[in-house]
Structure 1
Amino acid sequence: MDGKNLIRIVAVVFVAAAVTATALEMSRKDDKAVGEGSLTRASSVPNPLRDGLRRCQILGEAALREEGCARLWAEQRERFLGLEKPSGSSTFEPAASRSPDPALHEVR
């Protein structure tokens, strides 16, 4: 087989693979568009925490001096870390004391 013919065959195979990949990607975009509809419905539900955090983000550095933003950030941090808010009747324990490792309790 001549070198030129081999290069032509490789080029044809490459173009065929590119066309196939493009056709598959175009068909997947249709599937994603159907699945994204449920996400937009869920995000259209009003979320006061998210709205407040967006407002604080827009405020920029001025949000550091606003009490409401500090409260929202604390609430978001507690949600992210999975901390429970202490009830009025119980005392708040630091997160380190809830550790299952007894060696940590001895150090304190």
Structure 2
Amino acid sequence: MDSRTLARTGAFAFVGIAVTLMAVQFSDRERREEPLAVAQVAPLPDPRRAALRACRDMGEAASRDPSCLNLWSENRDRFLGQVTERPAIADHPEPVG
């Protein structure tokens, strides 16, 4: 066998072994990784959200209800990041349905 053929055969064997070892290592790593446990935290009840849903469920009558109008205004201001001097949501009565 001439030296050139021997060098090519050795190079192909080296590359083949390297690829095989790399594939084994990556497949072993995937098996060992355990999924991360994520703690599920129950969200705290939000009175503003409950009041907004009550206004939503009122339908068209909510557009004439002062408490719903104030609530929507506060929610819009909160969403837009505007500072208001209105009382907090706890001061609002429940919408009349």
**TM bin (shorter chain):** 0.3 to 0.5
TM-score (norm 2): 0.46
**Larger helix proportion, structure 1 or 2?**
1
TM-score (norm 1): 0.42
Between the two structures, name the one with larger relative contact order (CA 8 Å, sep ≥ 6).
Answer: 2
Larger radius of gyration: 2
